[in-house]
Chain A
Amino acid sequence: MVGEGSEADMVATIVKTNASLDLQKRLQAQNIHLKEVRDDMLIANVSSADLQDTVRYIRDMLKGRFITSVGTDCRQLTGCYEVSQLFALDADKLFLVLTTDVDPAHVSIPSITWLIPAANWAEREVRDLIGVEPIGHPDPRRLVLPDDWPDDLHPLRKDFRFDERPRSQPQNKVVLKVPPPDTSVFPIGPFFPTLEEPVFINLFVHGEEIVGMDYRGFFAHRGIEKLGDAELTYQQVPTIAERICGICGFVHSSCYCQAAEKAAGIEIPPRAAYIRTLLLELERIHSHLLWIGLACHFIGFDTLFMQAWRIREPVMWLTENITGNRKTYGINHIGGVTRDLPAGAREQITPVIDKIEAEVAAVVDAILGDSSLRARLEDTGILTPDDARAYCVVGPTARGSGLDIDARRDHPFAAYADLDVNVCVEQGCDIWARTMVRIRELLEAIRLVRLVLKKLPKGPVMAEFDEIEPYRIGVSSVEAPRGEAHHYVMTGNEQRPYRWRVRAPSYNNLQSIPALLRGMTIADAPISVGSLDPCFSCTERIAVIDKDSGELRIYKQEELLKRFNDRK
């Protein structure tokens, strides 16, 4: 539906762009109809009947990495719903948007989860919010909408008002899985000590060993995408995007701006690109230090929790001084940044990162020989490369399992095309490997900040542009501290997006938790989940019901630690 034009126009566009001609030929040979081709993105259309074969081709022959699915109510534009599958072709530095039109009379689409396990949540979210049923999905339960939400009401449809609050239907509560025979259940959450976000997890255990789990999350579903396409304007969306996540605020506002800029064909001034890069790397520095502190807190090593957060605090003061807020920097708009760096910013930044580099070096030197810390983190929380690929995990979670992917290098954005980013990959697949990836990335981020300050060009920080043409698609990835964040924007005709889809890195990473926890002991569960650096993390206090004896025990943190140490 996008990019309507004659066949001749389409052919002409294909020949002119920089996208790999070979790739285009291969797609056309598969009878995959190309709708639009740009330097960094291809949009293709395929029918429902051909969807599964096409996805298999993209996965196997093109080595496409699944990002997410997007459901859009295009009934007022084309008469259909549209479901798009977003793929990254990292080796070709391209994104592939595969659209399928869905007839409103039969609101369903064949499920691709059996081909790509990472599509599990994305398909359920499309069903919840748009109403397109994934046929053949292994677990078609409600995912995103509240438990008491009516069945037939889909908020992202255009005939649903963003502020409609229907009456409670408690009978729709999501039913959790029945545990396998010979296992006990223990529930965690939704409120738990050290659990920063509400989430409900049922662990199925056989003695100490975890054999399965079920999950009810999305307690923080706030209706962000609906506000973005129904109530806010283009330049108000960055403010809400910055509040999607409590650490990666600037990541999400940058990613939205970039996707919208691509859709609208706006090129931002080089100085703005460098300023975005600078703040993204500063965000990475404080986020990784935060993770190091929290991870140590989960395993009872509070000394390092306090020290890591002490080392991190000057970055918060720095960003408060140069942008106006510790965390929600508030300077991203479509077209660039609204404020330049204040005078003297360079002189403020340099001593802070110099000090952090020295202190992190001292800490790393100290912990490398810490055998009890390493015993806790090595050979635990194993995520095999196969599982990592199947769940399409991103970020340090992927790089710790040997997957060499990083959006800064594979899909350059902001100023990264001018900087040579060293991608940090480890082969260990365990928590220690992910820890080392983050520490190396932290030091690399410091190097990048210095490089950005050296190369920072002069000039304006905001592009001038006219009206934004409606119904144009743009996608963008930003490498957040947790992994690749990805935004999809379809522009609208009311000075706001027609559709805005957000895929946070934890969205894919969290789906790998069952694979991560299988075969693990209870005591290792918190730090294993924590090593994914999700926006929440797991428990230190667990209730266990032993099915055989009927005994209820509450394990405190000290007891869990003791059980772990005794096990050795």
Chain B
Amino acid sequence: MFKHTISELKEALVCLQAGQVTLAYPFQPHAPGGEFRGKPVIDVDKCIGCGACANACPARLITVKDMNGYRTLHFELGRCTYCADCRDVCPQQALRMSPQFELSTSSLEDLQIHVQFKLVLCRLCGEAVGTQRSVNLVNDKLAASELHQDDRDYLDLCIACKRKVAIHTPSLNLEVVP
């Protein structure tokens, strides 16, 4: 019995030594530190609309649609798992996981990213080549490389048409097998 009382006193001591630990949140912020992955945010200046994020997302919440000369990227963030695969795979580092975690809302429409970019359409067949931004990026890289300057003439062709044109371009010295 005595042993039991001692143990109860020890248990009480554990509590007393801990004291009051309650955080002042929400009256004071308690922001996450370090590597915390909160709500994804797109840097629209960097994004080229390539859609690599859509392929990577495990929750399949990113959809890419081409319609009427525009490409839309839509993120249904309600089911985001905050895994950051989208951020990791983006070639332009256009996505980041912000520290924002207070995401509660009564409307699912608040939980979305919706981005619309102008498309370049193939001058021969009208199919989408890519976003204007991605074409500009390639153009800038080619300009800076001083090589392959001829390729800059084909940037407004889709892959299929580019192939057809390349085969019939004399300067490339390709042997066409009938």
Contact = CB atoms under 8 A, between A and B. Distances in A.
Q: Do chains A and B touch in the complex (CB under 8 A)?
A: yes
Contacts of B57: 236
A243 interface: yes
Contact of B37 (A240, A322, A325, A362): A325
Nearest to A313: B21
B8 interface: yes
B36 interface: yes
B33 A321 contact: yes
A373 to B, nearest CB: 8
Contact of A323 (B21, B35, B56): B35
Contacts, number: 89
B117 interface: no
A236 B56 contact: yes
B127 interface: no
A372 interface: yes
Contacts of A330: 37, 81-84
B81 to A, nearest CB: 6
A307 B18 contact: yes
A239 B83 CA distance: 7
B11 A370 contact: yes
A303 B10 contact: no
B103 to A, nearest CB: 14
Interface residues of B, number: 32
Contacts of A321: 32-36
A370 B4 contact: yes
A253 B122 CA distance: 44
Nearest to B8: A370
B82 A328 contact: yes
B34 A369 contact: no
Given A236-B58, A239-B58, A239-B83, A324 B11 contact: no
A367 interface: yes
Interface string B93-134: 000010000000000000000000000000000000000000
Given A239-B85, A369-B6, A362 B35 contact: no
A307 B81 contact: no
Given A320-B34, A330-B83, A232 B4 contact: no
A324 B36 CA distance: 4
Interface in B1-42: 1, 3-4, 6-8, 10-11, 13-15, 17-18, 21, 32-37
Nearest to B97: A324
Nearest to B17: A362
Contact of A325 (B7, B56, B82): B82
Interface string B36-61: 11000000000000000000111110
A371 interface: yes
B35 A339 contact: yes
A338 interface: yes
B33 A239 contact: no
A325 B36 contact: yes
A304 interface: yes
Nearest to B88: A338
Contacts of A324: 34-37, 82, 84, 97
Contacts of A240: 58
A367 B7 contact: yes
Interface residues of A, number: 34
Contact of A365 (B4, B10, B36, B97): B10
A310 B6 CA distance: 23
Contacts of A304: 11
A359 interface: yes
Which of B3, B4, B7 has the largest count of A CB atoms less than 10 A from its CB? B7
Interface in A237-258: 237, 239-240, 243
A321 to B, nearest CB: 3
A371 B85 contact: no
Given A231-B60, A366-B10, A371-B3, A342 B15 contact: no
B81 A366 contact: no
A519 B67 CA distance: 69
A362 B10 contact: yes
A175 interface: no
A1 interface: no
A554 interface: no
B11 A320 contact: no
A368 interface: yes
Contacts of A419: none
A324 B81 CA distance: 12
A236 B61 CA distance: 13
A23 interface: no
A245 to B, nearest CB: 15
A372 B97 CA distance: 49
Nearest to A348: B34
Nearest to A339: B35
A307 B11 CA distance: 10
A338 B88 CA distance: 9
A367 B56 CA distance: 50
Contacts of A243: 81
Contacts of A322: 34-35
Q: 3 closest A-B pairs (Cβ-Cβ)? A: A369-B7, A321-B34, A366-B10
20 contacts: A235-B56, A239-B83, A240-B58, A307-B14, A307-B15, A320-B34, A320-B35, A320-B36, A321-B33, A321-B35, A324-B37, A325-B37, A338-B88, A362-B13, A366-B14, A369-B3, A369-B7, A370-B4, A371-B3, A371-B4
Given A320-B34, A325-B37, A362-B17, 7 more contacts: A239-B59, A323-B35, A330-B37, A339-B35, A367-B11, A369-B7, A369-B10
